[in-house]
Amino acid sequence: MNPPADPLTANAPAGATLATRFRQEFDDAPDGIWQAPGRVNLIGEHTDYNEGFVLPFAIDRTARVAVRVRPDSSVRLLSTYGDQGVVSSSLDNLEPGSAKGWTKYPLGVMWALKQRGVDVPGVDLLLDSNVPLGAGLSSSHAIECAVISAINDLTGAGLQPQEMVLATQRAENDFVGAPTGIMDQSASLRGSEGHAVFLDCRDQNVRLVPFETQPAGLVMLVIDTKVSHSHADGGYASRRASCELGAEVLGVKALRDVQVADLAEANGLLDVVTFRRVRHVVTENARVLQTVELLAGAGPAAIGSLLDASHASMRDDFEISCPELDLAVDTARASGAIGARMTGGGFGGAAIALTPASAEQSVRDAVATAFADARYKVPDIFTVSPAAGARRIA
Ligand code: GLA
């Protein structure tokens, strides 16, 4: 097992805490420190923007921001990634397309909050994160959720989690330019230790579902393929457009309203590709509901075949997998995992493999060997467990 490094010190100079580093950089103490986790989606992929069901969980890897309110409308941003130095901006000039790199995420949140009428103050902000970047574990939403929690607290705006979810979605959609749904920020803001977040994306209703691997003798392995992806690229948007077309032709508000039993009829009404996209979403919604039921009864050891079916559906019907993800999933299954699937938006990123603790090492070794044989990048393999959602930590 590789426990995640302490994010307060992992990327910062040895021994320094985020607060100490903040003081060094900005000559004063922060008003507070907020943290928000990345997420793994257990099941329910590309169902969120179809008003369907998802079952993600917040993971024990977090983004942390130290923030101090300024007396003016300037924003100074620094990360421990060490790539851009201090980036200075002004709240008065924020507009979509005006930010680069990781600063899109905090600035997008500030922009979206201003659009909602929140009186956003200028801030100095230092970010540290141990959510792997570009791995499909929502590193960007972890940043956004830490920032929005900080601003919500510092301004006393009193936004409820559902409102913060919509504000971060607006930041992603309109400022960052990624037409994503509400799953990732819901997991990050509303996650709870030892639970998966069963979210109905039509009304944002959440039910926390107990999900613990250790008592069942299992581990949840994440296999980061190191194939980077961006939801601002065309693939995600084109899948979303197919779903919208499918709903329109079938005469429903969203694909959430189509049931598995309706698929035979839908097949006659849709072109071949749109039908396959629709079939993924409709069957995936059903798999989420079955997973929730199984977790409440037989427990995590019973959900393996649903994870496998979800992956096959994304590979064959939704066509968002890639050779590296398929190799990770197939190898994990062949070497002892009880179920595996790609997680997140697809076209790269990570797979998850639900694995008996006794088979963890053989799965790790087999995947590493298979990737080396295929001359793929060296994958990063680590365990995750369901952790708490965003909160103030100092
Ligand atoms: C990305 C998006 C989510 C969701 C998933 C696919 O993670 O941010 O809103 O659509 O892809 O399930």
Distances (CA, A) of 143 to 61, 105, 132, 184, 292: 12, 7, 12, 11, 28
Give the mutation target among 42, 43, 48, 188 for probing the ligand 1 site: most ligand atoms within 8 A of CB.
48
25 within a domain of the structure (yes/no): yes
| Per-residue model confidence as pLDDT tens digits over 296-330 | 999 999 999 999 999 999 999 999 999 999 999 99
| Per-residue model confidence as pLDDT tens digits over 193-227 | 999 999 999 999 999 999 999 999 999 999 999 99
> Which pair of tokens denotes residue 285?
């919604």
CA 150 to chain centre: 19
C-alpha radius of gyration, the chain, whole number = 21
- The total of structural domains in the chain comes to 1
Q: How far apart are CA 294 and CA 300, in angstroms?
A: 7
250 within a domain of the structure (yes/no): no
The low-confidence residues of the chain, meaning pLDDT below 70, are 1-16
Q: How far is the CA of 172 from the centre of ligand 1 (A)?
A: 11
264 within a domain of the structure (yes/no): no
| From 48, 60, 128, 184, the catalytic residue | 184
> Which pair of tokens denotes residue 256?
């959430």
Q: How far apart are CA 383 and CA 222, in angstroms?
A: 6
Question: What does the chain come to in residues?
Answer: 394
Give the mutation target among 137, 168, 186, 231 for probing the ligand 1 site: most ligand atoms within 8 A of CB.
231
What phi, psi does 88 have (nearest 5°)? -100, 140
Q: What pLDDT score does 216 carry?
A: 97
Ligand 1 atom at minimum distance from 183 CA: 9
Q: How far apart are CA 169 and CA 371, in angstroms?
A: 35
What is the model's pTM?
0.95
355 within a domain of the structure (yes/no): no
92 within a domain of the structure (yes/no): yes
Provide the sign of the torsion angle of the four alpha carbons 175, 180, 182, 185, taken in this order.
negative
Q: What pLDDT score does 230 carry?
A: 75
Q: How far apart are CA 78 and CA 128, in angstroms?
A: 9
163 within a domain of the structure (yes/no): yes
> Which pair of tokens denotes residue 60?
């024990």
336 within a domain of the structure (yes/no): no
Give the mutation target among 180, 310, 320, 342 for probing the ligand 1 site: most ligand atoms within 8 A of CB.
180
63 within a domain of the structure (yes/no): yes
Q: What pLDDT score does 170 carry?
A: 98
Measuring from each residue's beta carbon to the nearest atom of ligand 1, which residues come in under 6 Å? 45-46, 48-49, 180-181, 183-184, 231, 344-345
Per the annotation, the verdict on 257 as an active-site residue is no
Ligand 1 atom at minimum distance from 181 CA: 9
Q: How far is the CA of 178 from the centre of ligand 1 (A)?
A: 10
Q: How far is the CA of 36 from the centre of ligand 1 (A)?
A: 17
Domain range holding 159? Answer: 13-210
Closest residue to atom 2 of ligand 1, CA basis? 180
Q: How far is the CA of 186 from the centre of ligand 1 (A)?
A: 11
Report the CATH number at residue 176.
3.30.230.10
Closest residue to atom 9 of ligand 1, CA basis? 181
Distances (CA, A) of 155 to 63, 80, 295: 21, 25, 39
Question: Residues of 37-54 as b/e, b for ≥16 C-beta within 10 angstroms?
Answer: bbbbbbbbbbbbbbbbbb
Alpha helices in the chain (DSSP H): 18-26, 104-115, 139-155, 161-170, 183-190, 234-250, 263-269, 272-296, 304-313, 323-334, 360-373
Q: How far is the CA of 72 from the centre of ligand 1 (A)?
A: 36
**How many helices and strands, by DSSP H and E, does the chain display?**
11, 12
